[in-house]
């Protein structure tokens, strides 16, 4: 594949933020530093849930190698680093007495970013629920959003004055739907009632956490949703309706409550019966004003109508080239989501692309794993989509690459490589890939 150049920083508006993103359980090494057990540990320990039954106990050992990892971020010329705080590392039981080593780890990490001129962009929850909360029903139990707000308050008190931006929950869709309806992520449930409760409680947890953070004087607060463009598998009206239903569930189920104080009708037709009591009264909390909105974008889906229970759709393969995740590469979806979200939900609110990237490397035959022309081409095409959205007037303020390092891709274990930096999972050595060097060349203005 021919090497594609990435657009230089000067091709974006003044002050546009470039960053890279990771999450705690995917890189830190959850077995280190006195972190408490999480539902991802139990999910991974259950046969059949995760490829090779791999877990995050060691991951990339970022817990010990954080300083070298921050050097890599600074070396590439990134402005910001989107990381997440592990709830169970800080509160091993989910509530109660904090783990001093956990608190100290994020002190070191945040100070390390500031020392290197990197803006700390925190996410409070990126999926590893403390086991003690999973034991009382996790996000199905409305106690969990209350405990989450307490955790948010603790984060605000300890780190709030040093954080550049903060978002409570990464990808509510994955936390609620893929985990309770599709069973793909911990806790691996397939239950419509559990799903409805998790959806609503995740939203409530978001709103309560925003209030708790504001109460601690923390500013620049946002929400991060993940979106997939939904194409009908054919022009058949039933497939068109299947795509609309997928769009409502996947893309609008959280944006609707956050910006309009309502679930889409196509969501209520399935989940309405199962929502917790008095759900309509809680949009005041859920709609807490935000300072920015983050969109995570990777791919599109093709939906066909199928018989059987709601939501009556199934995914079909599409014609576009796919990544190692079998996800079609569809940069137009990023442009169109940025425009649509601005027009239909967020108006003038600053937007960020908080995740974008691809899994590549399983198929190249490059033994070092560092030649990744498909990643450079993917980033180039999606940065072009970003530029098109900017030209259309979208108030887009930044773009974060997923991910800094090859890491734990949840139920797919360590086989899917999303990193700009290759990780050898035997030695844990890091080697920047060609995409890292291409980004460095595009971002650094000092000619080095
Ligand atoms: O690795 C995940 C991340 O945890 C959440 N967003 C999507 C990424 C790639 O699947």
Question: What are the pocket residues of ligand 1 if the criterion is a CB atom closer than 6 Å to any ligand atom?
Answer: 23, 26, 171, 296, 355, 402, 409, 418
Close Cβ partners of 332 (under 8 Å, ≥ 6 residues apart):
229, 385
Determine the residue of 167, 403, 411, 420 to mutate for testing ligand 1's pocket, defined as the one with the most ligand atoms within 8 A of the Cβ atom: 403
pLDDT at 4: 73
Residues with catalytic function: 171, 355
pLDDT of residue 361: 86
Average pLDDT per consecutive 10 residues, the chain (448 residues; last block may be shorter)? 80 98 98 98 98 97 99 98 99 98 98 99 98 98 98 98 99 98 98 98 98 98 99 98 98 98 98 97 98 99 98 98 98 99 98 98 72 97 98 99 98 97 96 97 81
pLDDT value at position 445? Answer: 74
Cα–Cα distance for residue pair 258/15, rounded to 1 Å? 27
CA of 177 to the centre of ligand 1 (A): 15
Using the atom order of ligand 1, give the atom closest to the CA of residue 23: 4
Paired sense of beta strands 396-402 and 165-169, if any: unpaired
Phi, psi (rounded to 5 degrees) for 44: -70, -25
Q: Where are the alpha helices (DSSP H) in 163-228?
A: 172-173, 179-180, 192-215
Domain layout of the chain by residue ranges: 9-443
**Which CATH number fits the domain 9-443, given the four candidates 3.40.50.1370, 1.10.275.10, 3.20.20.80, 3.90.420.10?**
3.20.20.80
Structure-token match 């800080």, residue found: 90
Note the maximum CA span of the chain.
60
Separation of alpha carbons 326 and 307, rounded Å: 25
* pLDDT at residue 363 in the model: 59
Torsion angle, alpha carbons of 212, 214, 218, 223, to 10? 80
Cβ distance 396 to 338 under 8 Å? yes
* Strand positions, DSSP E, 221-324: 222-232, 292-305, 313-316
Residues pairing with 22 in the sheet: none
Six-digit token string for 138:
């996790």
Query: Which of 409, 417, 423 should be mutated for ligand 1, with most atoms under 8 A from CB?
Result: 409
> How far apart are alpha carbons 124 and 85 in whole angstroms?
5
Q: Distance, CA 409 to ligand 1 centroid (Å)?
A: 7
Please give the distance, rounded to the nearest whole angstrom, from the Cα atom of residue 32 to the centre of ligand 1: 22
Q: Which atom of ligand 1 is found nearest the CA of 126?
A: 4
Specify the ligand 1 atom closest to the Cα of 355. Answer: 6
């Amino acid at each position: 594949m021919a090497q594609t150049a990435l657009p230089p920083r000067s091709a974006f508006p003044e002050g546009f933020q470039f960053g890279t993103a990771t999450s705690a359980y995917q890189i830190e090494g959850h077995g280190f530093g006195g972190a408490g057990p999480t539902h991802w540990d139990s999910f991974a320990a259950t046969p059949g849930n995760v490829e090779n039954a791999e877990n995050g106990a060691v991951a990339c050992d970022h817990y010990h190698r954080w300083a070298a990892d921050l050097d890599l971020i600074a070396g590439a010329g990134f402005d910001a680093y989107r990381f997440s705080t592990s709830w169970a590392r800080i509160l091993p039981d989910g509530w109660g007495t904090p783990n001093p080593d956990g608190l100290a780890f994020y002190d070191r990490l945040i100070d390390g970013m500031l020392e290197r001129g990197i803006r700390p962009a925190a996410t409070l929850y990126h999926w590893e629920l403390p086991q003690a909360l999973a034991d009382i029903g996790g996000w199905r139990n409305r106690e969990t959003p209350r405990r989450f707000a307490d955790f948010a308050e603790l984060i605000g008190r300890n780190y709030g004055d040093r954080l550049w931006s903060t978002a409570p929950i990464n990808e509510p869709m994955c936390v609620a739907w893929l985990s309770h309806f599709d069973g793909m992520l911990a806790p691996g449930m397939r239950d419509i009632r559990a799903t409805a409760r998790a959806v609503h409680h995740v939203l409530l947890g978001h709103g309560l956490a925003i209030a708790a953070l504001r109460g601690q004087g923390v500013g620049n607060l946002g929400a991060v949703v993940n979106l997939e463009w939904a194409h009908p598998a054919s022009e058949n009206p039933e497939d068109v309706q299947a795509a609309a239903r997928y769009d409502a569930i996947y893309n609008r189920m959280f944006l609707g409550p956050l910006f309009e104080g309502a679930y889409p009708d196509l969501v209520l037709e399935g989940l309405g019966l199962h929502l917790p009591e008095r759900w309509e009264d809680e949009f005041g909390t859920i709609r807490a004003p935000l300072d920015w909105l983050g969109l995570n974008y990777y791919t599109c889906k093709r939906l066909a109508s199928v018989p059987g229970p709601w939501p009556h759709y199934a995914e079909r393969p599409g014609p576009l080239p796919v990544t190692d995740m079998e996800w079609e590469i569809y940069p137009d979806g990023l442009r169109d989501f940025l425009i649509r979200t601005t027009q239909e939900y967020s108006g003038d609110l600053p937007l960020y692309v908080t995740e974008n990237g691809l899994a590549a490397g399983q198929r190249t035959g490059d033994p070092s794993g560092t030649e990744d022309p498909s990643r450079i081409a993917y980033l180039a095409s999606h940065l072009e989509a970003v530029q098109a959205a900017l030209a259309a007037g979208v108030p887009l303020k930044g773009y974060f690459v997923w991910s800094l390092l090859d890491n734990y891709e949840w139920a797919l274990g360590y086989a899917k490589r999303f990193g700009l930096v290759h990780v050898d999972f035997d030695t844990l050595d890091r080697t920047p890939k060609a995409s890292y060097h291409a980004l460095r060349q595009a971002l650094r203005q000092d000619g080095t």
